[in-house]
């Protein structure tokens, strides 16, 4: 990118990314009158960012290295589409100096810093040396060319334990190990070196003193080519899981005015030392009233909307204007109020946060006073080839306390069915006493682990009770005459109706006032609960988790209980008949197995369409509740 003062009008912008950030960048670009170009892999041919762009270009097959990370393919797409600028978003090629250089060589504006600035801040050892020379405080440690275990062990003794072994390249916690004693060091060096080599192609390491129970505070900066550099205040990103941010806020709570000013000043000095241009983030480790440089992210951050919310600006617009050669505007007014962002991921918090895929059956977001930057829409398929981020929920209020309450309310109003999400974990975090008091550290989530979530058995029982109550609640059309009621009413005592649902580990009875079916909220529920009744099942959304209950009554057919394509026995019983064969294609609702249980026959039906990939039982066999009967490989879209 030319560093001259000549301004260049940008007309066509290619977004070299996918998901919510691609959609978000395009939204601003269109408002500024620019034509937008999407790129996509074979896995994303029908993705939301492709649909909202003015045009889209295929860049390769599903693997990222063969598509979104293929510099030649992305540059070819830019040339073929007539793009005069490329916005890299975050992730993928956003911090790839060779990509920035390729744009410059092709005469295409790269909306970000130069390749030289990226290289200056991209390697942690070189960045720390540069920061030290610029007077920016850095965590004590060691970095050097001699990567032998002998040298690293000797220097570790000098730095002192506990310490961090860190890869000099990359980020996201890869190639990083905490070491608390000399005995742990050799294994940590081997593991960190191997992980870094696989992730970044560079296995070199550095050592840093481990700051116990720190906070993660970052400062947003932006610089133009005319010598101006501004800080846009700070964010707290301490709520992390395995070094991946989960909830962020702006401004950072509990900082002394002196520390806040020191961090802002250090961030600007860091950007100037690197010869930086465009938007970037300088990250710090904070403990007490001290802060040390961690790293610089030479791109737009995922959490940038909280800065936008309190300052009333559009950071992507500022990026585009700076990239076109415009000088920065005057600094914005001081932060107004408080903002939070929660990242909604397609992952299972009750199963080690493993990524989840599938088709989004239902997607509901909060009302218009909440900003939602979404990556998918209802009906879309979530793939597991890339980052699992579904959406970001952003709230803003006058005070931190009000914003926290707004966040909890907003998260409870979210509903995603068909794909497992981390919404239950986000709700639990929003309610966490330490977080609400501002006592969070980077280790809070990992330390709490499964204890963050409510007990699964209790939640499942509550959901089943709500499902049964909805099934039996009055619809408003029934007669109030007890002699006309078709239930178990009796003269002495209340009417009691027992409902059994098919779900491993459950079987509940409830007492209700009258029979009926409803799709409305049932008594005792609130905005965090939604119950919908269907002919053969009841679906319950409770505190960010989705429960599906198949009904069992009078031998009526029931949908099979499924888990990741495995069809499970809903109750103990005997297999009377297998209605399908291995390799057979089945449709949702098709009869699969006839099971005898509780002196009744139950026909289990397919929960999804697909191909029977395996059959694990045979006629006459007795099965336990939850035992796998067969597996269905779900058919791909299209």
419: tokens are: 């794909």
Per-residue model confidence (pLDDT) at position 311? 98
Distance (Å) of CA 373 to CA 148, 212, 524: 46, 34, 32
Calculate the CA 536 to chain-centre distance.
32
Q: Which residues contact 358 (CB under 8 A, 6 or more apart)?
A: 381, 382, 418, 419, 420, 634
Per-residue model confidence (pLDDT) at position 134? 94
Per-residue model confidence (pLDDT) at position 533? 83
Residue 614: is it exposed, middle or buried by C-beta count within 10 angstroms (0-12/13-18/19+)?
middle
307: tokens are: 């800065």
Q: Which residues contact 123 (CB under 8 A, 6 or more apart)?
A: 168, 169
57: tokens are: 């270009």
Per-residue model confidence (pLDDT) at position 460? 85
Q: How far apart are CA 209 and CA 207, in angstroms?
A: 7
Q: Are 471 and 508 in contact (CB under 8 A)?
A: no
* C-alpha distance across the termini of the chain, in Å: 42
Q: Are 446 and 349 in contact (CB under 8 A)?
A: no
The number of CA neighbours under 13 Å toward the Cβ of 77 is 26
Distance (Å) of CA 397 to CA 82, 249, 250: 42, 12, 11
Which run of H or E residues covers position 435?
helix 433-436
Q: Which residues contact 568 (CB under 8 A, 6 or more apart)?
A: 504, 560, 561, 562, 626, 627, 628, 629
Q: Are 42 and 63 in contact (CB under 8 A)?
A: no
Per-residue model confidence (pLDDT) at position 502? 52
Per-residue model confidence (pLDDT) at position 5? 55
Q: Are 632 and 618 in contact (CB under 8 A)?
A: no
The phi, psi pair for 462, rounded to 5°, reads: -60, -45
Q: Show the low-confidence residues of the chain (pLDDT under 70).
A: 1-6, 172, 473-528, 551-564, 597-600, 636-638
353: tokens are: 């946060």
51: tokens are: 């649909």
Per-residue model confidence (pLDDT) at position 552? 59
Per-residue model confidence (pLDDT) at position 561? 57
Q: How far apart are CA 367 and CA 375, in angstroms?
A: 18
Per-residue model confidence (pLDDT) at position 563? 60
pLDDT tens, 276-330? 999 999 999 999 999 999 999 999 999 999 999 999 999 999 999 999 999 999 9
Per-residue model confidence (pLDDT) at position 521? 42
The number of CA neighbours under 13 Å toward the Cβ of 63 is 3
**In degrees, to the nearest 5, what angle opens at C-alpha 123 toward C-alphas 121 and 129?**
70
Q: Which residues contact 483 (CB under 8 A, 6 or more apart)?
A: none
3-state DSSP call for residue 457? Answer: helix
Q: How far apart are CA 440 and CA 460, in angstroms?
A: 29
């Amino acid at each position: 990118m030319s560093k001259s003062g000549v301004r260049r009008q940008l007309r066509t912008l290619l977004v070299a990314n996918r998901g919510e950030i691609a959609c978000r960048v395009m939204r601003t670009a269109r408002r500024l009158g620019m034509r937008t170009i999407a790129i996509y892999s074979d896995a994303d041919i029908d993705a939301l960012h492709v649909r909202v762009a003015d045009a889209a270009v295929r860049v390769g097959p599903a693997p990222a290295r063969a598509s979104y990370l293929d510099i030649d393919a992305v540059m070819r797409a830019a040339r073929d589409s007539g793009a005069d600028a490329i916005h890299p978003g975050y992730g993928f090629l956003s911090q790839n100096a060779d990509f920035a250089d390729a744009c410059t060589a092709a005469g295409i504006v790269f909306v970000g810093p130069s390749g030289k600035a990226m290289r200056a801040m991209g390697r942690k050892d070189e960045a720390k040396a540069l920061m030290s020379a610029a007077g920016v405080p850095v965590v004590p440690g060691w970095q050097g060319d001699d990567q032998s275990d002998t040298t690293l062990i000797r220097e570790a003794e000098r730095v002192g334990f506990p310490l961090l072994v860190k890869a000099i390249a990359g980020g996201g916690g890869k190639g990083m190990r905490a070491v608390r004693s000399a005995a742990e060091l050799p294994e940590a060096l081997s593991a960190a070196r191997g992980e870094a080599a696989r992730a970044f192609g560079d296995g070199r390491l550095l050592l840093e003193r481990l700051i116990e129970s720190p906070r993660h505070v970052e400062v947003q900066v932006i610089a133009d080519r005319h010598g101006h550099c501004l800080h846009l205040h700070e964010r707290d990103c301490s709520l992390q899981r395995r070094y991946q941010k989960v909830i962020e806020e702006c401004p950072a709570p509990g900082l002394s005015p002196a520390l806040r000013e020191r961090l802002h000043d250090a961030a600007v000095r860091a950007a100037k030392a690197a010869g930086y241009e465009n938007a970037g983030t300088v990250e710090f480790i904070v403990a007490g009233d001290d802060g040390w440089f961690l790293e610089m992210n030479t791109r737009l951050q995922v959490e940038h909307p909280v800065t936008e919310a309190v300052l009333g600006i559009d950071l992507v617009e500022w990026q585009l204007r700076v990239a076109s050669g415009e000088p920065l505007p005057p600094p914005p007014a001081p932060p107004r109020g408080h903002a939070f962002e929660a990242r909604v991921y397609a992952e299972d918090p009750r199963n080690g946060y493993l990524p989840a895929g599938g088709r989004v059956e239902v997607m509901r977001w909060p009302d218009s006073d909440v900003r939602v930057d979404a990556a998918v829409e209802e009906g879309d398929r979530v793939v597991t080839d890339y980052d699992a981020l579904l959406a970001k929920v952003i709230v803003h209020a006058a005070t931190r306390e009000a914003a926290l309450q707004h966040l909890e309310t907003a998260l409870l109003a979210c509903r995603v069915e068909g794909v497992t999400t981390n919404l239950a974990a986000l709700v639990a975090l929003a309610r966490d006493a330490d977080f609400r008091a501002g006592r969070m550290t980077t280790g809070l989530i990992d330390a709490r682990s499964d204890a963050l979530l409510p007990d699964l058995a209790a939640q499942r029982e509550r959901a089943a009770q709500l499902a049964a109550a909805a099934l039996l609640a009055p619809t408003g059309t029934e007669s109030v005459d007890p002699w006309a009621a078709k239930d178990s009413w009796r003269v002495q005592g209340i009417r009691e109706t027992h409902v059994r649902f098919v779900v491993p580990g459950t079987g509940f009875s409830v007492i209700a006032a009258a029979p009926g079916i409803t799709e409305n909220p049932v008594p005792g529920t609130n905005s965090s609960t939604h119950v919908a009744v269907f002919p053969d099942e009841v679906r319950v959304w409770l505190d960010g988790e989705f429960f599906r209950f198949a009904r069992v009554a009078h031998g009526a057919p029931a949908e099979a209980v499924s888990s990741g394509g495995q069809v499970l026995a809903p109750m103990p019983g005997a297999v009377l008949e297998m209605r399908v064969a291995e390799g057979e294609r089945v449709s949702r609702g098709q009869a699969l197995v006839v099971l005898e249980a509780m002196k009744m026959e139950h026909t289990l039906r397919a929960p999804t369409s697909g191909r029977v990939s395996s059959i694990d039982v045979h006629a006459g066999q007795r099965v336990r509740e939850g035992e796998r009967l067969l597996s269905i490989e779900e058919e791909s879209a299209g």
